[in-house]
Structure 1
């Protein structure tokens, strides 16, 4: 058994203890939330309205549509970059105005940012059409890969394209120039509907949105569901956050999906436009490289709060003073991180892979979702800077939970100046938003069974209303770890960081919807930020790296722009030169 790893008996004891605590809180707070809401009880009310059932079971990803809008004057612009694999691509720009409106879905292009900048007037291979509110767009891809009944507000352009590309990208150097927004509300939905990608624990308590504030106005029923919700939160919490519990969940997920960590899976179902042959070649070599060839070092630093030590695997690139600090996802295996790390090693970077508190070689019994890890990252940055000397440069990168670790670390006021940029791959906006997505997904699956007997759940899980479940989970976390779930927020982090930031997601991610990445991009206060959504079949959650050729090129071009100082607001309108997709 690993150091500090909980035994099955200890996990059982912890579960029982948290269950008792949860039930106690449930009793104590029985009448805390008895304000009437528009939603009636879904536990004893069977609905047979099929149209209502269809609306209520729609997921946040299905409801979200991306729109490109301008928050500055009518001459503000944002560039959408286009890159065809193996072919040259036309440079495309959008002249966006806050007055422009369209009733067609927002257009998106797939592109790779290069480090060469040109002026708008010198772009000869691009056809730019200034559009009014009545103009529509013809394009070969849509960022969200979704459709919506709500009209989207955007400036559009018309341009022909010779072949399908591999990526969709929205890039900007000024946070006031362009933003990508998600619409969670249907055109016929309630006016008080909450943005599902910006949910907070504190906001849930005061919400009037019936899809969020699901607890009943009936005091007796409210008392009952508060108890059952506290029990559910108490049972789930140890399995989500504790070392042993999360390990068991990871094993169970692997049991359900045996190919989860099969390197061959990275290219077996990949769309042809993402060059699966190249992916096969790369990861076949990467596995052998990490397992048998490269020299790996184990490094440690003390936790910032002095409660233990963090562990990491370090791969030094000969002669390099540039380092990628790679944040671990929830239960991600170190070997899997190692295979992906070759992407950055081939770019000439050292790679440091810290293990999150409560995972692998790091101490701690619970994961803190970046709240405590962010300070530990400062220690890692200082450690790397000591190794590489005064010329040390660091890039913070992560996938899933690791993406939020990177974003939260970047938002610290005492961040060392050696940190130059952040790359956040499929991070979540807030923990309550992620929980809402998972909750509604489970409710919709359950509704698939109950609807057969005429019982429509209306997006709720019987006896476990979302708002009460979230409230009790937050109380348990505060009792066990001393912080609220709102304290570990990617949305708050991006508002407090001005570092150049690249946001990545895939449209086929069913674990963390790409709309949450768009919300992070929207809220980001970065002076230079890019949003890159891969559409089609990529592989689901944390799978953008499966499209390894485009992934390498896109990240490399972003880092080139950072390194060459092409990240100032003045570069907002600069067109982008295509980079050829020659196989390495």
Structure 2
């Protein structure tokens, strides 16, 4: 009788464990990956920025600049059938320089106008800002965290290149999830026009990022919950949290990469970028900004940030500015 009871207890415990794992997988998939509001990030101490930064984000002159620009809306269907859109802005003067700016998690294309204003007004670049799948006016019912987005970025580049002279030079500049996107793309066969990558506040793999946040926000271990969520993500969104790995990608990179990160970042630890920098196969530079939290480096030390970006681009792009008028 006791033996039967013990068997019953064990079966019940196993059943409860399995139910918890399945329910937990769906809960965290819906929490992080399914498209929709993410209230759990509201008030997150790791995302707290300085009053100065918040003022720039909410009231900076870049917002008026974005509103005044006559962007051309562009549309593209992804390889897996998702309708994507982005904004193109030709430079004031014809140029062979184009920057593609990729935004962060839960953001949208025009938020990269903070950086776009610098490239457009001070560097004279053509500008393209795509909405990642699941964001802004792009379709998709999930967030790709950079992995499917890396192929979207390459396909956007190819679409843009149909109207480019072969001498056009393209720069990828991404922030947070957008930074992981450009790094993941760096490990692929890139269009010849892509000459440099700038990654601001990137993470390594999505699995590693989630493991860090699972422990920090929920005090839970990664295994086995995150591994089960990985299976669910593969089934519902078509990608694996483990294969979405910037660390592996940069070990295959062939173009120069500039890494930027805030030394006070606790949402995506600065050490992630340091390790990315250390294993990068191509020529790489690392620029750290003191007292800057996640995605805050540009505002916290704008002068040094701009100088570093300009010096990096001058070192790796041609000095000529050919009279190539894209899309005109």
Residue correspondence of structure 1 range 204-223 to structure 2 within 5 A: none
Residue 101 of structure 2 corresponds to: 326
Segments of 5+ residues of structure 2 without an aligned counterpart are: 1-9, 320-328
Quote how far apart the aligned CAs of 1:224 are: 4.2
Determine whether 1:556 maps to 2:301.
no
For residues 389 and 295 of structure 1, what CA distance do their matches in structure 2 show? 23
Matched, 1:424 2:216: no
The CA distance in 2 between the partners of 1:541 and 1:400, in whole Å, is 8
Give the conservation status (yes or no) of the 8 Å contact 2:63–2:114.
Answer: yes
**Is 1:505 the equivalent of 2:261?**
yes
Q: How is 1:166-245 mapped onto 2 (pairs within 5 angstroms)? A: 224-244=16-36
Match of 1:390 in 2: 166
The one of 471, 493, 496 equivalent to 2:249 is: 493
Q: Is the 8 A contact 2:108 2:131 kept in 1?
A: no
Say which structure is richer in helix: 2
Task: Write the distance in 2 (CA, Å) between the matches of 1:429 and 1:373.
Answer: 15
Inter-partner Cα distance in structure 2 for 1:263 and 1:379: 37
Kindly indicate whether the alpha-carbon contact (under 8 Å) linking 2:86 and 2:109 is maintained by their aligned counterparts in 1.
Answer: no
Which structure has the higher relative contact order (CA within 8 Å, separation 6+)? 1
Q: CA deviation at 1:330?
A: 0.6
User: Would the aligned equivalents of 1:261 and 1:336 in 2 still touch at CA under 8 Å?
Assistant: no
- 1:222–1:471 Cα change, 3 Å: farther
Match of 1:533 in 2: 288
- The question of whether the paired residues in 1 share the 8 Å contact of 2:169 and 2:317 is answered with no
Cα distance, 1:371 vs. partner?
Answer: 2.4
**What SS does the aligned partner of 1:243 have?**
coil
Using structure 1 for the length normalisation, give the TM-score. Answer: 0.49
CA gap 1:284/1:261 in 2 versus in 1, 3 angstroms: farther
Q: How far, CA to CA, are the matches of 2:52 and 2:163 in structure 1? A: 36
Quickly say closer, same or farther: Cα 1:544–1:219, change in 2 above 3 A.
farther
Deviations 1:87-133 (A, max 9, x none): xxxxxxxxxxxxxxxxxxxxxxxxxxxxxxxxxxxxxxxxxxxxxxx
Moved more, 502-511 or 227-236: 227-236
Q: Deviations over 1:315-358 (max 9, x none)?
A: 21121221111112111144422233112212111121111111
Change (3 A) 1:264 1:322: farther
- CA deviation map 1:508-564 (0-9, x unaligned): 1111101111111122111x100111122x2x2111111211111110001111025
Label 1:262 to 1:523 Cα distance change in 2 as closer, same or farther (>3 A): closer
Is 1:482 paired with 2:257? no
Taking structure 1 as reference, are residues 335 and 378 closer, same or farther at Cα in structure 2, changes over 3 Å only? closer
Considering only aligned residues, what root-mean-square deviation do their CA atoms show, in Å?
2.7
**Quick check: 2:102–2:112 contact (8 Å CA) kept in 1?**
no
Gaps of 5+ in 1: 1-217, 269-278, 444-459, 566-584
Q: 5 Å matches for 1:63-142?
A: none
Structure 1 residues 359, 513: CA separation in 2 closer, same or farther (over 3 Å shift)? same
CA distance in structure 2 between the partners assigned to 1:233 and 1:551 by the alignment = 40
Answer yes or no: is the 8 Å Cα contact 1:302–1:379 preserved in 2: no
TM superposition shift of 1:252: 6.0
1:296 aligned residue = 71
Partners of 1:393 and 1:418 within 8 A in 2: yes
Cα pair 1:230 1:468 within 8 Å, conserved? no
Matched length: 304
Distance 2:15 2:261 in 1: 40
Paired position in structure 2 for 1:441 = 216
2:129 aligned with 1:353:
yes
Q: Is the 8 A contact 2:206 2:241 kept in 1?
A: yes
Instruction: For residues 245-286 of structure 1, give each alpha carbon's deviation from its aligned partner in whole angstroms, at most 9, with x where no partner exists.
Output: xxx11x6645x48xx899974276xxxxxxxxxx89xx8432
| Contact 2:204–2:245 (Cα < 8 Å) also in 1 | yes
Q: Distance in 1 between matches of 2:125 and 2:209?
A: 32
Mapped partners of 2:245, 2:22: distance in 1: 23
Contact 1:299/1:314 (CA < 8 Å) preserved in 2? yes
For 1:100, the equivalent position in structure 2 comes to none
User: Which of residues 157, 176, 184 is equivalent to 1:381?
Assistant: 157
SS at match of 1:467: coil
SS of aligned partner of 1:492: helix
Deviation at 1:295, TM superposition (A): 2.0
* Contact kept? 1:300, 1:310, Cα under 8 Å: yes
Paired residue secondary structure (1:556): helix
Over 3 Å counting, the alpha-carbon distance change for 1:232 and 1:387 in structure 2 is same
